[in-house]
Structure 1
């Protein structure tokens, strides 16, 4: 699966990249929301892992913009956050996120969530 990882913290990015590549996924990287929007539009990845707290354009606004474009609105976006506050899950879904994960990254959780979304992406691509 082609996954765009939008993450501005180098340690988190290295961890996510190694986990995802070890599972056979092809990874593109954006270090801020502006890059995430541009790469999503240019590459049309199968899935986006979106950190919600990033510079230039945050993950909230990047998600909203990606979901508002007809060419990218179908791409599942999984929110990632280290600062889970009351109401953040609901807010993430309201701007267009399809799932919500908290940091630190739980390997079993990310494997389970990616297996679910991989199966969904694969089944929808067969339609």
Structure 2
């Protein structure tokens, strides 16, 4: 959360001693990032092993902004990370329901979650991070 607040203040041109005026976009970004963070904590995923970002990815025909949640896996946790990857549809559904319960869901659309791994993921199995030695041959 500290990273998110520092991003909000720096992107608006404020220093850390001032409290920036928040717009609806900032509130949606903050609230939805908190929901995603709490959902991942319930699964046992440590805060330092993922980076969460909420971005506007487009607009609906009626003019509502579409927000997507981006989860970047920063550290491989052998017991938890495979569960996260295998259960992504269930996690996405649970987070979607939590977001729809907020009043902000009437002001914006949640497009879903995107998960990707960092190129410099810590503690990953060597076979997982090793590039393929030869391209797949055509049949």
TM range, smaller chain = under 0.3
Q: TM-score, normalised by structure 1?
A: 0.26
Q: TM-score, normalised by structure 2?
A: 0.24
Q: Which has the larger radius of gyration?
A: 2
- Which structure: greater strand fraction? 2
